[in-house]
Amino acid sequence: GNTALFAAVAVAARLVIGMALALALHTRLIRRQSLYRTLYYLPTITPMVAVAFVWKFMYDPQFGLINQVLGTKINWLFDARYAMSAILLLTIWKDFGYAVILLLGAMYSLPVECYEAAETDGATAWQRFRFVTLPLLKPTIVFIVITSLISYFQTYIPVMVLTGGGPGTQTYLASYLIYQEAFSKYNFGYASALSFVLFLFIAILTAISFRISGQNEGQV
C-alpha cells in the first residue's frame, strides 16, 4: 500500500510539474532556457545518496533549513504524519527534471501546422493545449509514467538514509521491505517471494514500455 501510494503521488507530481515547466520554457515564459534546462536536470543526475544526506540535514528538527524557513519545529522524519511526505518531497524535487527534458524535447518536435490550424479556427491557448498539445504528447506522457513507475517501485535509498523505514513501519516501501526481510530478519524465502512478485510487475511495465517505444518508432 505504501509503495502504490508513493508511486502514484510521485508520478503525478513529476508529470504535472514537468509539464508546467516544459510549457513555460517552450512558450518562452521563462527566459535563459539553456540555464534553466541545466538547473532542472541537474538534481536528476546527482547521486541519490548524496541528495538524501543533504535533505536529511535540511529536515533536522532543530537546525534544518526547512524548519528555519517555515518557522516550525516539526520532526519531519520521525513523525508518522510527515515522514512519507518528506520522502516524497525529496523524490519529486530530484526527479521532475526528467519529465521537463523529455516533454520539452517532444514539444519542439510537434508539427507547427496543427497549431496554425487551431489559431486560424480561433482556439484559445487552453484549447490549443487541451486539444492539440496533450494528444500529440500522449506517447511521451505514457513513456514517462511507465518508466517512473518502474523506478519508484524500486525506491530504496531515500528510505534507508532518511527514516530507516520508520517511525515503526510507516515509510516501508517494497524494496526496503525485501532488504529487511532478507538481511535483518533472515527470512530469505519470504524475501525471495517478494522479490519475484516485484520482478514480475516491473517486467510487465518494461514490456509495455518497449511496446510503446516500438509503436512510436513505427509512426516515425
d(CA 160, CA 209): 28
> pLDDT, tens digit, for every residue of 78-116?
999 999 999 999 999 999 999 999 999 999 999 989 888
Residue 216 has pLDDT above 60, yes or no: no
> pLDDT, tens digit, for every residue of 128-149?
999 999 999 998 998 899 999 9
Polymer length of the chain: 220
C-alpha cell recorded at residue 171: 515509510
Residue 218 has pLDDT above 70, yes or no: no
What pLDDT score does 215 carry? Answer: 63
Residue 37 has pLDDT above 90, yes or no: no
Residue 220 has pLDDT above 60, yes or no: no
Residue 6 has pLDDT above 70, yes or no: yes
| Omega of the bond leading into 111 within 30 degrees of 0 (cis) | no
C-alpha cell recorded at residue 214: 516500438
